[in-house]
Structure 1
């Protein structure tokens, strides 16, 4: 039987029933693993709102087994591999790392979720799941970066991967994937290779996943993980072929400025490239603010500070790369962008502005 390393102790999974965790994170992992091993047939999860308002849903054991098998096949994972769990185990992404380990009899190393869990990693692992912030911080720490490069397969979920990060990992020899998925699809149903040999910015659906669009051009998904029911998302996509699609952004992340509909994520991608060219690593978001003339005006909200010279260059360069309606009318600075428990940036909130400029 495979083992789990939790709170520094290496324990056979079946012996977890006698383990007494000392942290809420460990308690969640132990409770779920014991429930799975005792044969529970269904589990309750909170959705993030990808297909509508957040709600609680029940996912069957069969669906989770199917999802795990699809991932293991896509990444060629074997029972000789060791997995790393350093995400919040309350949500589907963390739970599925446990399920994959149990089904495939992989060893599992548990590290408490943090902004850079690889700093605490003290033994080799072959497979890991990270959120974008964890990937960024691993890249920016020399010791963590060495560990990152040694992990054969890494899946990154819970948010967009910035252009600067893509540039950092595109030459790496290991396999780093951006994932597309949600609670309703029992974790990811498509992968996009970010590291060496990447063949573009599209996602490739896993075997057995059918994709299409509705009248809004939003992605629709049907697979065993959805109980062969059609799941219609709020994600606008461009279908390339029967198993490939390009993600354009959330249909509810549109700013209507002067009658022009602006897809936030597409503009953010361009701004990310500009940030990368200036060596800026600050996180940022675009928001629409009410405007008497335009209806909504585009505002760029940047986390932290940037020096005066970079700010001046940024202000001058943005209008050359963006349409006049896409160009931010103001830049606001905040101390910290708010995150959800799954490390997604919260857009729909009133941020406390530290300073701002009009451009």
Structure 2
């Protein structure tokens, strides 16, 4: 069968039941009317996917600005699904697990991959620890970092797992280091129709040693950088034109790059450019609570580095900063009882910082 958004692959199954186009429409209606909240999300997306329009509406997460709605071409979603299937060697009849919300692009694409590639999709309610049948084996699954952290000891049931939607801590990487399944961190966004590049997180051999921090692009996708050293993505089968991001990167080749942080988060302290995400990486294994590094105005330095922690107290043993460079060390610590977050759970740094300034 030639992949097309108007077709439902003959091997596709949802929760162990095969469906044709018309049958899937009926299931979608029943989910919207009578299903659990996560099933209603699934039903709404299926109705959008199976209608006569050549696009769907997808929401951005809002982690770096106001959430917005985008028109995503269904043909691009099909092409993205094929690229993922080719990269991870997914075949018709493979069992895959879907434990993400279906109202954001990552969840939508799990459904599209199953419909287009003929996968058997098991759907469970999104949760920090997905309620799955641990006797089943799966070829593929997508997690958030928190889900991967909680699910690490059960990974033996999954052949390949991808994780996205936030940074993966060193502690999580350590917990999956010796696990048999292949685990990859993904890079992507709503505008790029889910991930366009992946980075291996475990099961390294000698050939991987010098490229552990590198993202590798999926088929037919190339990258470059602009004058700010921000990532530029060229994916003709997904995008009408190149996308210029605000992600600071080090380009290693047209298909490989290293992510450094967000351009809009860069701190200029005493003339030294600092990348908050790189400082956070050094501290992540030392701080159990949620936190982030940001800056406040300073008369001497221009901007001073500060640490914001989600906690009822602002006490931290400052010896944890001993491993940081001189300019990286926070000049102040602020505690916030609850961070401002998007609906998908991403920290909104600017809004959280504003709550500190206004308190």
Answer yes or no: same fold by TM over 0.5: yes
In the alignment, does 2:234 pair up with 1:248? Answer: no
Tell me whether 1:3 sits opposite 2:13 in the alignment.
yes
Q: 1:262 aligns with which of 270, 274, 290?
A: 274
User: Structure 2 regions of 5+ residues with no counterpart?
Assistant: 1-9
Q: Do residues 133 (structure 1) and 133 (structure 2) align?
A: no
TM-score if structure 1 supplies the norm length? 0.84
TM-score (structure 2 length as normaliser): 0.84
Distance 1:83 1:157, change over 3 A: same
Alignment of 1:1-359 (within 5 A): 1=10, 2-5=12-15, 10-14=16-20, 15-19=23-27, 20-21=30-31, 22-48=35-61, 54-118=67-131, 123-139=136-152, 145-146=153-154, 148-197=155-204, 199=208, 200-273=212-285, 275=286, 280-304=287-311, 311-312=316-317, 315-318=318-321, 320-350=322-352
Q: Deviations over 1:119-148 (max 9, x none)?
A: 676633221111111112223xxxxx22x2
Count of matched residue positions in the alignment of Structure 1 and Structure 2: 333
The answer to whether the 8 A contact 1:52-1:234 is kept is no
Distance 1:54 1:212 in 2: 26
Measured after TM superposition, the shift of residue 218 of structure 1 is: 0.5
Residues 96-117 of structure 1, C-alpha deviations (whole Å, 9 max, x = no match)? 0000000111111111112221
Distance in 2, Cα, partners of 1:152 & 1:304: 37
- Secondary structure in 1 matching 2:327: coil
Q: Residues 13 and 348 of structure 1: is their aligned pair in 2 closer, same or farther, counting only changes over 3 Å?
A: farther
Structure 1 CA distance for aligned equivalents of residues 259 and 47 of structure 2: 37
- How far did 1:257 drift? 2.2
| 8 Å CA contact retained: 1:111, 1:120 | no
Shifted more, 44-53 versus 248-257: the winner is: 44-53
In the alignment, structure 1 segments of 5+ residues that lack a partner are: 140-144, 354-359
User: Which SS does the other structure have where 1:321 is aligned?
Assistant: coil
Instruction: Tell me whether 290-299 or 193-202 shows the greater mean CA deviation.
Output: 290-299
User: Structure 1 residue 52: deviation in Å?
Assistant: 7.5
For residue 6 of structure 2, what is the aligned residue in structure 1? none
Residues 111 and 306 of structure 1: CA distance in aligned 2, closer, same or farther (over 3 Å): farther
**How far is 1:84 from its partner?**
1.4
SS at match of 1:126: strand
Aligned-partner Cα distance in 1 for 2:295–2:222: 34
Closer, same or farther in 2 for the Cα pair 1:219/1:44, shift >3 Å? Answer: same
Deviation at 1:36, TM superposition (A): 2.6
Q: 1:324 to 1:265 in 2, by over 3 A?
A: same
